[in-house]
Amino acid sequence: ASKSQAPSQSVGPGYRPDTQKPTATVSTEIPHQNVHILEQTPQLIALLTMIRDKNTGRADFIFYSNRIIRLLVEEGLNHLPVVEHTITTPVGRSYSGVKFEGKICGVSIMRAGESMEQALRECCRSVRIGKILIQRDEETAKPKLYYDKLPEDIADRWVLLLDPMLATGGSALMAVDVLISKGVPEDHILFLNLIASPEGAKSFAERVPKVRVVTAFVDQGLDEKNYIVPGLGDFGDRFYTM
């Protein structure tokens, strides 16, 4: 079990003086270039407050989680390559913009990662989605790969790996190993995550430094059962069955 100091910060737009802004616990900062933490806006903190609350029921948990996941997907897409693309507008002028380049797919780590598929589909029409099932082996207490079903041409795609909770990092690292074994270049993997523990984020970032991580929040630590603290409990249970 570990715990870092929880950082407190006034939350709100820069033009407002700190005295007029509420204080909240914001994400821990971590010194890894490949980990991108969403901006700690009042909106994001309010959404996280909703889903962390043990008194939030399932319908609200799903609704507010989906909103955060949507923010993660939108930010994640900013890390994919675009190329220059000039178009003509209906008034006959040209506009020099960009367009997405390359094919993508999602890969969810079952079961909790499946909760992130809908937001990905909303942003990327008819996106292909693969699945990986990793569970803790009761005998060794280590993560074990039980099942994977991935697009055949996954080696030619940018992969958005989906798992809302990064606790020890064991499952996410195993999932990255599976993707690499299928020929996906490490730097074509983007890991989208809601809440990470500092130790999970650190070991993941150090083991696979070319994988980009986009997370909403790095929390304080892990408890003796490897739950993230303060965390939100078991994400899969709260999203699917509670």
Residue with tokens 């650190």: 202
Alpha-carbon separation of residue 199 from 109, 118, 120 (angstroms): 20, 29, 27
Task: Decide if 58 is catalytic.
Answer: no
Task: Decide if 125 is catalytic.
Answer: no
By CB under 6 A, what part of segment 41-60 binds ligand URA? Answer: none
CA terminus-to-terminus distance, the chain: 26
By rule CB under 6 A, what string of x and - marks binding of each residue 111-130 to ligand URA? Answer: -x------------------
190/228 with CB nearer ligand URA: 228
Task: Decide if 140 is catalytic.
Answer: yes
Interface with ligand URA by CB under 6 A: which range of 30-38, 133-141, 145-153, 229-237?
Answer: 229-237
Cβ 219 to ligand URA, closest distance in Å?
9
Interface with ligand URA by CB under 6 A: which range of 2-10, 22-30, 46-54, 234-242?
Answer: 234-242
Cβ 23 to ligand URA, closest distance in Å?
25
Interface with ligand URA includes 227 (CB under 6 A)?
yes
Give the residue, chosen from 129, 165, 189, 208, that forms a contact with ligand URA under the rule CB under 6 A: 165
Burial class (CB in 10 A: 0-12, 13-18, 19+), 91: exposed
Cβ 60 to ligand URA, closest distance in Å?
17
Give the residue, chosen from 61, 158, 217, 235, that forms a contact with ligand URA under the rule CB under 6 A: 235
Task: Decide if 136 is catalytic.
Answer: yes
CB 44 within 8 A of CB 55: no
Cβ 227 to ligand URA, closest distance in Å?
4
Rounded Cα–Cα distance for residues 171 and 157 (Å): 21
Residue 6 identity: A
Interface with ligand URA includes 228 (CB under 6 A)?
yes
Q: Which of 111, 136, 168, 223 is an active site residue?
A: 136
Alpha-carbon separation of residue 123 from 12, 117, 128 (angstroms): 27, 10, 12
Interface with ligand URA by CB under 6 A: which range of 41-49, 93-101, 180-188, 231-239?
Answer: 231-239
Neighbours of 225 (CB within 10 A): 7
Rounded Cα–Cα distance for residues 154 and 140 (Å): 30
The closest of 229, 228, 184 to 210, measured between CA atoms, is 184
Rounded Cα–Cα distance for residues 21 and 178 (Å): 45
Residue 171 identity: S
Cβ 167 to ligand URA, closest distance in Å?
4
Q: What are phi and psi of 12, to 5 degrees?
A: 155, 180
List residues near ligand URA by CB under 6 A.
112, 165, 167, 227-228, 231, 234-236
Show which residues are catalytic: 136, 140, 234, 237
